[in-house]
Amino acid sequence: MSMLLEIKGLNTFYGNLHALWDIDISVKEGNIVTLIGSNGAGKSTLLKSISGTVRPRSGEIIFDGRSIIGKPASYIVKEGITLSPEGRQIFPRMSVEENLRMGAYTHKGKDYSSLFDRVFSLFPILKERFGQQAGTLSGGEQQMLAIGRALMSSPRLLMLDEPSLGLSPLLTETIFQLITEIKQQGVTILLIEQNAYMALSVADYSYVLENGRISMEGKGSDLLEDEKVISSYLGGV
Ligand SMILES: Nc1ncnc2c1ncn2[C@@H]1O[C@H](COP(=O)(O)OP(=O)(O)O)[C@@H](O)[C@H]1O
Ligand SMILES: [Mg+2]
Protein backbone atom coordinates (compact mmCIF):
# COMPACT_ATOMS: atom_id res chain seq x y z
CA MET A 1 0.00 0.00 0.00
CA SER A 2 1.22 3.46 -0.85
CA MET A 3 1.19 6.58 1.30
CA LEU A 4 -1.90 8.68 0.79
CA LEU A 5 -0.59 11.52 2.95
CA GLU A 6 3.01 12.41 3.67
CA ILE A 7 4.07 15.27 5.90
CA LYS A 8 7.71 16.25 6.13
CA GLY A 9 9.40 18.88 8.29
CA LEU A 10 6.18 20.74 9.02
CA ASN A 11 6.45 23.88 11.17
CA THR A 12 3.45 25.98 12.15
CA PHE A 13 3.44 29.21 14.17
CA TYR A 14 0.80 31.41 15.77
CA GLY A 15 2.64 34.74 15.78
CA ASN A 16 5.75 34.00 17.82
CA LEU A 17 4.38 30.77 19.25
CA HIS A 18 6.04 27.81 17.56
CA ALA A 19 3.16 25.31 17.72
CA LEU A 20 4.44 22.46 15.48
CA TRP A 21 8.12 21.52 15.23
CA ASP A 22 9.47 19.54 12.26
CA ILE A 23 6.54 17.15 12.09
CA ASP A 24 6.99 14.00 9.97
CA ILE A 25 3.89 11.85 9.54
CA SER A 26 2.78 9.31 6.94
CA VAL A 27 -0.69 7.89 6.44
CA LYS A 28 -1.07 4.73 4.39
CA GLU A 29 -4.08 4.42 2.12
CA GLY A 30 -6.85 2.45 3.87
CA ASN A 31 -5.39 2.81 7.36
CA ILE A 32 -6.58 4.45 10.55
CA VAL A 33 -3.73 6.58 11.85
CA THR A 34 -4.18 8.20 15.22
CA LEU A 35 -2.36 10.99 16.98
CA ILE A 36 -2.59 11.23 20.74
CA GLY A 37 -1.40 13.99 23.03
CA SER A 38 -2.35 16.16 25.96
CA ASN A 39 -4.40 19.31 25.78
CA GLY A 40 -2.39 22.03 24.02
CA ALA A 41 0.09 19.60 22.40
CA GLY A 42 -0.76 20.88 18.91
CA LYS A 43 -3.13 18.17 17.70
CA SER A 44 -5.79 20.50 16.30
CA THR A 45 -3.10 22.74 14.82
CA LEU A 46 -1.80 19.77 12.82
CA LEU A 47 -5.23 18.98 11.36
CA LYS A 48 -5.82 22.68 10.59
CA SER A 49 -2.41 22.86 8.89
CA ILE A 50 -3.42 19.94 6.66
CA SER A 51 -6.94 21.26 5.92
CA GLY A 52 -5.65 24.69 5.00
CA THR A 53 -7.34 26.70 7.74
CA VAL A 54 -3.98 27.46 9.38
CA ARG A 55 -1.01 28.27 7.14
CA PRO A 56 2.18 26.37 8.00
CA ARG A 57 5.47 28.28 7.82
CA SER A 58 7.54 25.49 6.28
CA GLY A 59 7.55 21.84 5.34
CA GLU A 60 5.81 19.60 2.87
CA ILE A 61 2.33 18.14 2.79
CA ILE A 62 1.93 15.66 -0.05
CA PHE A 63 -1.51 14.17 -0.70
CA ASP A 64 -1.77 11.42 -3.29
CA GLY A 65 1.54 12.55 -4.77
CA ARG A 66 0.64 16.24 -5.00
CA SER A 67 1.73 19.12 -2.80
CA ILE A 68 -1.20 20.79 -1.02
CA ILE A 69 0.67 22.98 1.45
CA GLY A 70 -0.52 26.58 1.40
CA LYS A 71 -3.52 25.79 -0.81
CA PRO A 72 -6.93 27.22 0.13
CA ALA A 73 -9.20 25.10 2.33
CA SER A 74 -11.82 24.69 -0.42
CA TYR A 75 -9.17 23.34 -2.81
CA ILE A 76 -8.07 20.81 -0.22
CA VAL A 77 -11.65 19.57 0.28
CA LYS A 78 -11.95 19.13 -3.49
CA GLU A 79 -8.70 17.15 -3.48
CA GLY A 80 -10.39 14.70 -1.09
CA ILE A 81 -9.51 15.71 2.48
CA THR A 82 -12.24 16.64 4.95
CA LEU A 83 -11.95 17.71 8.57
CA SER A 84 -14.62 17.03 11.17
CA PRO A 85 -13.56 19.76 13.59
CA GLU A 86 -13.13 19.77 17.34
CA GLY A 87 -16.34 20.67 19.15
CA ARG A 88 -18.41 19.44 16.17
CA GLN A 89 -19.30 22.95 14.94
CA ILE A 90 -22.62 21.95 13.47
CA PHE A 91 -25.10 24.71 12.62
CA PRO A 92 -27.58 24.44 15.53
CA ARG A 93 -30.42 26.47 13.97
CA MET A 94 -30.29 24.60 10.69
CA SER A 95 -31.91 21.21 10.15
CA VAL A 96 -30.01 17.94 10.00
CA GLU A 97 -30.65 17.91 6.25
CA GLU A 98 -29.27 21.43 5.78
CA ASN A 99 -26.18 20.59 7.85
CA LEU A 100 -25.54 17.54 5.70
CA ARG A 101 -25.99 19.54 2.49
CA MET A 102 -23.40 22.04 3.73
CA GLY A 103 -20.90 19.19 3.83
CA ALA A 104 -21.51 18.51 0.16
CA TYR A 105 -20.82 22.04 -1.06
CA THR A 106 -18.14 20.81 -3.43
CA HIS A 107 -20.56 18.24 -4.89
CA LYS A 108 -21.31 19.12 -8.49
CA GLY A 109 -24.43 17.11 -9.22
CA LYS A 110 -27.95 17.86 -8.02
CA ASP A 111 -28.60 14.37 -6.71
CA TYR A 112 -27.80 14.10 -3.04
CA SER A 113 -29.77 10.91 -2.43
CA SER A 114 -26.84 8.48 -2.68
CA LEU A 115 -24.79 10.73 -0.39
CA PHE A 116 -27.63 10.86 2.14
CA ASP A 117 -28.13 7.08 1.88
CA ARG A 118 -24.54 6.42 2.78
CA VAL A 119 -24.80 8.65 5.88
CA PHE A 120 -28.11 7.02 6.88
CA SER A 121 -26.67 3.52 6.57
CA LEU A 122 -23.99 4.46 9.09
CA PHE A 123 -26.18 6.67 11.28
CA PRO A 124 -29.84 5.57 10.94
CA ILE A 125 -30.82 8.03 13.69
CA LEU A 126 -30.02 10.94 11.35
CA LYS A 127 -32.72 9.73 8.96
CA GLU A 128 -35.23 9.92 11.78
CA ARG A 129 -33.99 13.39 12.70
CA PHE A 130 -33.71 14.62 9.11
CA GLY A 131 -36.00 17.65 9.40
CA GLN A 132 -35.16 18.46 13.00
CA GLN A 133 -33.05 21.44 14.13
CA ALA A 134 -29.51 20.20 14.73
CA GLY A 135 -29.27 22.07 18.05
CA THR A 136 -31.99 19.83 19.50
CA LEU A 137 -29.97 16.63 18.95
CA SER A 138 -28.17 14.88 21.82
CA GLY A 139 -24.38 15.18 22.07
CA GLY A 140 -23.84 11.78 20.50
CA GLU A 141 -26.25 12.53 17.65
CA GLN A 142 -24.51 15.86 17.02
CA GLN A 143 -21.18 14.04 16.75
CA MET A 144 -22.74 11.61 14.26
CA LEU A 145 -24.02 14.60 12.31
CA ALA A 146 -20.56 16.18 12.30
CA ILE A 147 -19.02 12.97 10.93
CA GLY A 148 -21.91 12.50 8.51
CA ARG A 149 -21.47 16.04 7.22
CA ALA A 150 -17.77 15.38 6.67
CA LEU A 151 -18.63 12.24 4.66
CA MET A 152 -20.96 14.19 2.37
CA SER A 153 -17.95 15.42 0.40
CA SER A 154 -16.95 11.77 -0.23
CA PRO A 155 -13.43 12.25 1.17
CA ARG A 156 -10.55 9.87 0.56
CA LEU A 157 -9.01 11.10 3.81
CA LEU A 158 -11.31 11.82 6.73
CA MET A 159 -9.74 13.75 9.60
CA LEU A 160 -11.51 13.62 12.95
CA ASP A 161 -10.63 16.02 15.77
CA GLU A 162 -11.55 14.49 19.15
CA PRO A 163 -14.83 12.84 18.13
CA SER A 164 -15.31 11.37 21.63
CA LEU A 165 -15.02 14.70 23.45
CA GLY A 166 -17.85 15.09 25.96
CA LEU A 167 -19.45 11.72 25.16
CA SER A 168 -20.23 8.93 27.63
CA PRO A 169 -18.03 5.80 27.52
CA LEU A 170 -20.84 3.89 25.83
CA LEU A 171 -21.34 6.50 23.10
CA THR A 172 -17.58 6.74 22.69
CA GLU A 173 -17.55 2.99 21.95
CA THR A 174 -20.32 3.47 19.40
CA ILE A 175 -18.48 6.30 17.66
CA PHE A 176 -15.27 4.27 17.48
CA GLN A 177 -17.18 1.28 16.06
CA LEU A 178 -18.59 3.56 13.37
CA ILE A 179 -15.12 4.91 12.60
CA THR A 180 -13.98 1.33 11.99
CA GLU A 181 -16.97 0.83 9.67
CA ILE A 182 -16.04 3.95 7.72
CA LYS A 183 -12.54 2.54 7.30
CA GLN A 184 -14.04 -0.70 5.98
CA GLN A 185 -15.81 1.35 3.30
CA GLY A 186 -12.35 2.31 2.05
CA VAL A 187 -11.90 5.73 3.64
CA THR A 188 -8.47 6.51 5.10
CA ILE A 189 -8.71 8.09 8.55
CA LEU A 190 -6.50 10.43 10.53
CA LEU A 191 -7.87 10.65 14.05
CA ILE A 192 -6.83 12.95 16.86
CA GLU A 193 -7.75 12.02 20.42
CA GLN A 194 -7.13 12.68 24.08
CA ASN A 195 -8.81 9.34 24.74
CA ALA A 196 -5.56 7.45 24.16
CA TYR A 197 -6.87 3.99 24.95
CA MET A 198 -9.60 4.06 22.30
CA ALA A 199 -7.40 5.84 19.78
CA LEU A 200 -4.59 3.30 20.08
CA SER A 201 -7.01 0.36 20.05
CA VAL A 202 -8.46 1.17 16.61
CA ALA A 203 -5.23 2.40 15.05
CA ASP A 204 -3.11 0.70 12.42
CA TYR A 205 -0.37 3.18 13.28
CA SER A 206 -0.05 5.93 15.88
CA TYR A 207 1.96 9.00 16.78
CA VAL A 208 2.38 10.73 20.12
CA LEU A 209 2.53 14.52 20.01
CA GLU A 210 4.20 16.32 22.93
CA ASN A 211 4.65 20.09 23.04
CA GLY A 212 4.38 20.34 19.27
CA ARG A 213 6.84 17.52 18.55
CA ILE A 214 6.36 13.86 17.62
CA SER A 215 7.87 12.04 20.60
CA MET A 216 6.95 8.47 19.70
CA GLU A 217 5.39 6.42 16.94
CA GLY A 218 4.50 2.81 16.27
CA LYS A 219 1.73 0.31 15.81
CA GLY A 220 -1.25 1.12 18.02
CA SER A 221 -0.99 -2.29 19.69
CA ASP A 222 2.71 -1.71 20.49
CA LEU A 223 2.16 1.77 21.95
CA LEU A 224 -0.65 0.38 24.14
CA GLU A 225 2.02 -1.73 25.86
CA ASP A 226 4.69 0.96 26.04
CA GLU A 227 5.63 1.92 29.65
CA LYS A 228 5.90 5.61 28.87
CA VAL A 229 2.59 5.72 27.00
CA ILE A 230 0.92 3.81 29.83
CA SER A 231 2.20 6.18 32.53
CA SER A 232 1.60 9.40 30.55
CA TYR A 233 -1.58 8.72 28.59
CA LEU A 234 -3.31 5.64 29.97
CA GLY A 235 -3.56 6.69 33.60
CA GLY A 236 -0.71 4.39 34.63
CA VAL A 237 -2.87 1.24 34.42
N1 LIG B 1 -5.61 30.55 17.12
C2 LIG B 1 -4.57 30.45 17.97
N3 LIG B 1 -3.82 31.53 18.26
C4 LIG B 1 -2.76 31.44 19.10
N5 LIG B 1 -2.38 30.30 19.71
C6 LIG B 1 -3.09 29.20 19.46
C7 LIG B 1 -4.23 29.22 18.58
N8 LIG B 1 -4.74 27.96 18.53
C9 LIG B 1 -3.98 27.21 19.33
N10 LIG B 1 -2.99 27.94 19.90
C11 LIG B 1 -1.94 27.44 20.79
O12 LIG B 1 -1.20 26.44 20.08
C13 LIG B 1 -0.88 25.35 20.93
C14 LIG B 1 -1.49 24.08 20.36
O15 LIG B 1 -2.90 24.18 20.39
P16 LIG B 1 -3.86 23.06 19.79
O17 LIG B 1 -3.37 22.68 18.45
O18 LIG B 1 -5.25 23.58 19.89
O19 LIG B 1 -3.63 21.84 20.80
P20 LIG B 1 -4.50 20.51 21.05
O21 LIG B 1 -5.47 20.39 19.94
O22 LIG B 1 -3.49 19.41 21.10
O23 LIG B 1 -5.17 20.68 22.37
C24 LIG B 1 -1.42 25.71 22.31
O25 LIG B 1 -0.37 26.30 23.04
C26 LIG B 1 -2.49 26.73 22.02
O27 LIG B 1 -2.66 27.62 23.09
MG1 LIG C 1 -7.50 20.27 19.95
Q: pLDDT truncated to tens, each residue of the chain (237 aa)?
A: 589 999 999 999 999 999 999 999 999 999 999 999 999 999 999 999 999 999 999 999 999 999 999 999 999 999 999 999 988 899 999 999 999 999 988 777 778 889 999 999 999 999 999 999 999 999 999 999 999 999 999 999 999 999 999 899 999 999 999 999 999 999 999 999 988 999 999 999 999 999 999 999 999 999 999 999 998 888 765
Q: Select from 16, 17, 23, 164 the residue to mutate for testing ligand 1; criterion: most ligand atoms less than 8 Å from CB.
A: 17
Helix (H, G, I), strand (E, B) or coil at 140: helix
pLDDT at 120: 95
Question: Which ligand 1 atom is at minimum distance from the Cα of 42?
Answer: 17
For 3-233, the fitting CATH number among 3.90.1150.10, 3.40.50.300, 1.10.3720.10, 1.10.760.10 is 3.40.50.300
Cα-to-centroid distance, 43 and ligand 2 (Å): 5
Cα-to-centroid distance, 44 and ligand 1 (Å): 7
Is the Cα dihedral 173, 218, 190, 139 positive or negative? positive
Helix (H, G, I), strand (E, B) or coil at 146: helix
The residue ranges of every structural domain in the chain are 3-233
Cα-to-centroid distance, 44 and ligand 2 (Å): 4
Report the length, in residues, of the chain.
237
**Closest protein CA for atom 3 of ligand 1:** 14
Cα-to-centroid distance, 110 and ligand 2 (Å): 35
The CA distance from 113 to 119, in Å, is 10
Cα-to-centroid distance, 193 and ligand 2 (Å): 8
Residues 38 and 194: beta-carbon distance below 8 Å: yes
pTM score of the predicted model:
0.95
Residues with CB under 5 A from ligand 2 (ion): 43-44, 86
Please enumerate in sequence order all residues whose Cβ is within 8 A of that of 1, keeping only pairs 6 or more positions apart, or say none. Answer: 28, 29, 30, 31
**Which residues form ligand 1's pocket by a CB distance below 6 Å?**
14, 17, 19, 37, 39-45
The CA distance from 58 to 117, in Å, is 40
